[in-house]
Amino acid sequence: MNAAKRLEIFRRFHEDNPEPKTELAYSSPFELLIAVILSAQSTDVGVNKATAKLYPVANTPAAIHALGVEGLSEYIKTIGLYNSKAKNVIETCRMLVELHNGEVPQTREELEALPGVGRKTANVVLNTAFRQLTMAVDTHIFRVSNRTGIAPGKNVVEVENKLMKFVPKQYLLDSHHWLILHGRYVCLARKPRCGSCRIEDLCEYKAKTSDD
């Protein structure tokens, strides 16, 4: 795919949604961090339902740590893998209190040192909470990048690196949100909704579908 096509793709994404946002509900970098940890192999809707009950009771590292694994589990037991997530969140809260004065760190290395935080989660927090130029490649972004030809790659790191290189600089900061939303609602895994796609004429996917 050439640079002119990529520029037009992201120009249209921006035109349709000038200020894209994550669908996870949060009101602080810490709330976002916990929500992203909980969202692994779970839906944003399911996470939001759980955190809507949790955050009014505890929404700081010290407060959630005080709940303990069993106490936290009661709030998040509707989420997949909640047992291991509860352990990770409690340990992450302990580390935030003891090592970071209760604040969420703003470097990938420090974030990835926290239990339950991998490269993707760290990138989401850095981009969404701290507005850093990072690219969190999830299954939606990986699929869209490969299927459209925007940034094909064999693994998530390769796709991440290509997106950081190829997405026009003026659109890079928000591109992660546009690509996720496009994959979630239009460029679906089983059958993409090509007939409803704003970038169908620019996409290089060979097996275009109708919406019938």
With 60 as the cut, is the pLDDT of residue 212 above it?
no
State how far the Cα of 68 lies from the Cα of 86, in Å rounded to an integer.
8
Tokens of 168: 């026009």
Mean pLDDT of the chain: 94
> What's the length of the chain?
212
pLDDT of residue 40: 86
pLDDT in tens, 42-91: 899 999 999 999 999 999 999 999 999 999 999 999 998 889 999 999 99
pLDDT in tens, 145-183: 999 999 999 999 999 999 999 999 999 999 999 999 999
- Decide yes or no: CATH 3.40.50.720 for domain 3-20+135-202: no
**Closest among 46, 119, 125 to 80, alpha carbons compared:** 46
Q: Show binding-site residues.
A: 187, 194, 197, 203
Q: Show binding-site residues for [4Fe-4S] cluster.
A: 187, 194, 197, 203
Token pair 């239990």 in the structure block, residue: 115
Q: How confident is the model at residue 211 (pLDDT cuts 50, 70, 90)?
A: low
**Closest among 208, 159, 158, 207 to 180, alpha carbons compared:** 159
Residue 78 near residue 46 (C-beta atoms within 8 A) = yes
Q: Would you call 123 helix, strand, or coil by DSSP?
A: helix
State how far the Cα of 53 lies from the Cα of 208, in Å rounded to an integer.
42
Q: What residues are labeled active site?
A: 120, 138
φ, ψ for residue 184, nearest 5 deg: -75, -35
Q: Quick one: which H or E segment has residue 89?
A: helix 82-100
Task: Count CB-CB contacts under 10 A for residue 105.
Answer: 21
Half-sphere exposure of residue 10, counting CA atoms within 13 Å on the CB side? 22
pLDDT of residue 187: 95
State how far the Cα of 85 lies from the Cα of 106, in Å rounded to an integer.
22
Any idea where the domains of the chain sit in the sequence?
3-20+135-202, 29-130
CATH node for 29-130: 1.10.340.30
Residue 186 near residue 193 (C-beta atoms within 8 A) = yes
DSSP string, 125-175: HHHHTT--S-----HHHHHHHHHHSSS--SSHHHHHHHHHHHS-GGGHHHH
pLDDT in tens, 87-120: 999 999 999 999 999 999 999 999 999 999 999 9
Specify the DSSP class assigned to residue 103: P
- Enter the pTM of the model: 0.88
**Closest among 179, 184, 178, 133 to 19, alpha carbons compared:** 178
φ, ψ for residue 21, nearest 5 deg: -130, 155
Specify the DSSP class assigned to residue 37: H
